[in-house]
Amino acid sequence: MRLDKLLGMLGEGTRSEARDLVRAGRVLVNGVPARDAGMQVMAGQDSVALDGRALEYKPVRHVMLHKPQGVLTAARDKKQPTVMDLLPPMYAAMGCMPAGRLDKDTEGLLIITSDGQLAHRIISPKKEVGKVYLAHVDGPLGEADIRAFAAGLHISDSDGEFDAAPAVLEILSSAAERSEARVRVTEGKYHQVKRMFAARGVQVVYLKRLRIGALALDPALAPGQWRELEDDEIELLETEAD
């Protein structure tokens, strides 16, 4: 591809800014200063450096993001910040998109990837990739709730009606005013976890996604922080979604 296109895909500015970098002699291709921003380079084969810093090209990118509350799970929005605003421009330029959604007020594990097929498999109910959430609710939970989740709940509310697939509810603590639980679902209906708890008479006051399949949120990532997935983590996702 053209050198200026590659620089843009790697988040090093627009095409015109890339041409300025080349004219200033700041870009090396295979150790030699580039003279033409339109020169053809083999991404992944030719070495490209900017100001002595090697630029690494990967045809596919996978990111683990600890999505914070208050941020939309969307590629872009004219009025509100989105999860893509938390990443360098390179990722949007390479076609990365969120694999599934988290509500604006929900935090936790979100995968952002340029592999559209993998993203589809992760969110497809047919693949039954489990998603585990930590939920705080404003009332007590008990054995009847565990059995109801396991049997599959019928949801009928102002957002519509559907039959939720069986889910696993693990109660961590229960009290009259506040309870804490983990829940594993294999679907991703609109506000699903919140609506399931609401069907049992309690409201979710805090929700965090902890895991997608066998991939857990890195505890070292604070809300808003991210990192690229390791090879073994990518393999976990691909195996889970086969």
E strand or H helix that includes residue 192: helix 192-199
Is 72 buried (19+), middle (13-18) or exposed (0-12) by CB count in 10 A?
buried
Instruction: Kindly name the residue from 4, 36, 46, 103 that is annotated as catalytic.
Output: 103
- How many angstroms separate the CA atoms of 72 and 105, rounded? 9
Is position 103 annotated as part of the catalytic site?
yes
What 3-state DSSP class applies to 172? strand
Phi, psi (deg, nearest 5) at residue 134: -100, 125
DSSP sequence for 132-167: EEEEEESS---HHHHHHHHH--EEEETTEEEEPPP-
AA letter at 40: Q
Q: Looking at residue 241, what DSSP letter applies?
A: T
Residues that are catalytic:
103
